[in-house]
Amino acid sequence: MTLLVEVPPPAPAPAAEVPPARRSAGRRLVGAAAPYLYLAPALALLVVWTYRPLLQAVQLSTLSWNLLPTSPATPVGAANFREVLTAPELGDAVGVTALFIVGLLPFTIVLPVVIALSARRVRGRARTLYQALVFAPMLVAPVASAAIWQWLLDPGSGAVNRVLGLQVNWLADPTAAQVAIIVVTGWHVLGFATLIVSAGLGGTDDEYAAAASVDGARPRQITWRITLPLLSPTLVFLTLMTILLSAQWSFPLVDTLTQGGPGDATTSIYYLLWEYGFRSFDAGHGAAAGLVFFVVFLAVAWVLVTLSDRLSFHDD
C-alpha cells in the first residue's frame, strides 16, 4: 500500500555534510556510495526474495508441471496463458471479486467516516476507548476470527440467526455466503479503515471549519462542504486499498469458512489462484494466472494512482 502515497522530498542535508576541499578519491567514492550501502541490505532482500520469485513465475508459466521434482516439466509455450484467460471460472471469479469490492466499500469508507466523525464529538478518554474498541477486531488473527464467525453463523445455535430472528443457513446458501464473507471481512478491516480516517481527520486544518462556522455555516454544511473534501485524499487512498486488497483480505476467511463455495459463490480471483497452485498442483497454470493477476493489478493500481491525483482535493 505504500507505493500509493507520494514520498515527500528529503530534508536538505545538514551543512556539515559539505565535503572539505581536499579529499582523496577513495574517500569521495565511499561518500558517494554511502547512501547505497545503507540501502543495500534491505533492497537486496526485497529484490532477491520478491522479484526473483516473480521472474521464476515467468519461467514456470510456460511449463506444464505438477510441482513434483520427480515428474518431467514439459514446455508448452503460451498455452497456459490461453487456458487461464479462456477458463470459464475466471469470469465468475472476477465477478465475485467485484462483488466483494463493492460490498466492502461501506465498511472501508462509509462506516469509518461516520465512526471517525462521531468520535470527534466525544472528548478525552472516552474517545480513546471508543477508537480502541473499534480497533479491536483488527487484532484478532483472521483465522481466529473465522473460527468465531463459524459459530456465530451456525444455522442451528448461531447467535446471528437468533439475534436477527432469521433462519438462514449462512454458509450453505450462495447469496447468504457472499453476504457473510463481506460482513465478516468488513468486521475485520473496519478498525484499520477507521484508524486511517481518524488520522486523516487529525491531519486536516480545523481553521477552515472554524471560519465557515463564523460565517454562519451549519454543522451539516461544514461536514459536506469542508471536512469531507479535505478528507478526500484519505478516502481515495482507502478506495484504492479496497479495490486492490479486498480479495486478499477475504482470503483467510474464504479459505476457512466456505472454501470458495457453495459452488463457486465465494471463489474470488485470489482464492482461484491459490487453488490453481496448491489444490490442483498445476504449477504452470498457477504461475500464468499469477502473472496475469499481477499485470492487471499493476495496471489497475497505476490507473487509480493517476486518477486519485485528480480526484483529491488538496488544501495547499
- 3 state DSSP class of 254: helix
Residues 6 or more apart whose Cβ sits within 8 Å of residue 244: 1, 297, 300, 301, 304
Q: Which is it for the CA torsion 162, 136, 308, 217, positive or negative?
A: positive
| Least distance in angstroms from the C-beta of 207 to other proteins | 17
| Least distance in angstroms from the C-beta of 145 to other proteins | 7
| Least distance in angstroms from the C-beta of 1 to other proteins | 6
Number of residues that bind other proteins (CB under 8 A): 106
The pairing of beta strand 74-75 with beta strand 63-64? antiparallel
Q: How far is CA 87 from the centre of its chain?
A: 26
Instruction: Considering only CA atoms, give the Rg of the chain.
Output: 25
Q: Which stretch binds other proteins (CB under 8 A): 22-30, 84-92, 94-102, 158-166?
A: 158-166
Side-chain-side CA neighbours of residue 310 (13 Å): 4
Residues 79 to 108: which contact other proteins by CB under 8 A? none
Q: Does 210 bind other proteins (CB under 8 A)?
A: no
Q: Does 212 bind other proteins (CB under 8 A)?
A: no
Residues 240 to 299: which contact other proteins by CB under 8 A? 244, 248, 251-252, 255-256, 270, 273-274, 277-278, 283, 286-287, 290-291, 293-294, 297
Q: Which CB, 34 or 210, lies closer to other proteins?
A: 34
| Least distance in angstroms from the C-beta of 293 to other proteins | 6
Q: Pick one of 109, 142, 177, 180: the residue that binds other proteins (CB under 8 A).
A: 142
Secondary structure, 3-state, 217-228? CCHHHHHHHHHH
| Least distance in angstroms from the C-beta of 14 to other proteins | 6
Give the end-to-end CA distance of the chain in Å, rounded to a whole number. Answer: 24
Q: Does 222 bind other proteins (CB under 8 A)?
A: no
In whole angstroms, what is the distance from residue 57 CA to residue 74 CA?
15
Q: Pick one of 19, 20, 35, 88: the residue that binds other proteins (CB under 8 A).
A: 35
